[in-house]
Amino acid sequence: MSELEELTTRMRGFVRARDWEQFHTPKNLAMALAGEVGELVAELQWLTPAEASEVMADPEAAGRLRSEIGDVTLYLVRLADTLGIDLVAAANTKLDESDRRYTVEGYRGSARKAPPLV
**In the range 78-107, which residues lie near its own copies by CB under 8 A?**
78-80, 83-85, 87-88, 90-95, 98-99, 102, 104, 107
Q: Examine residue 53 and tell whether it contacts its own copies (CB under 8 A).
A: yes
In the chain, DSSP finds a helix count (H) and a strand count (E) of: 6, 0
Q: Which amino acid is present at 14?
A: F
Give the nearer residue to its own copies in terms of CB position, either 59 or 75: 75
| Residue 60 near its own copies by CB under 8 A | no
- When binding is defined by CB under 8 A, the residue of 9, 12, 52, 58 that contacts its own copies is 52
- Nearest in space to 29 (alpha carbons), one of 69, 90, 82, 88: 82
Minimum CB separation of residue 96 from its own copies in Å reads 10
- C-alpha closest to that of 91 among 78, 104, 76: 76
| Binder among 59, 60, 100, 117 for its own copies (CB under 8 A) | 117
How far, in Å, CA of 40 to CA of 35, rounded? Answer: 9
d(CA 41, CA 79): 20
Instruction: State the minimum distance, in angstroms, from the CB of residue 59 to its own copies.
Output: 13
Near its own copies in 4-23, by CB under 8 A: 4, 7, 10-11, 14-15, 17-20, 22-23
- Phi and psi angles of residue 103, each rounded to the nearest 5 degrees, phi first: -65, 150
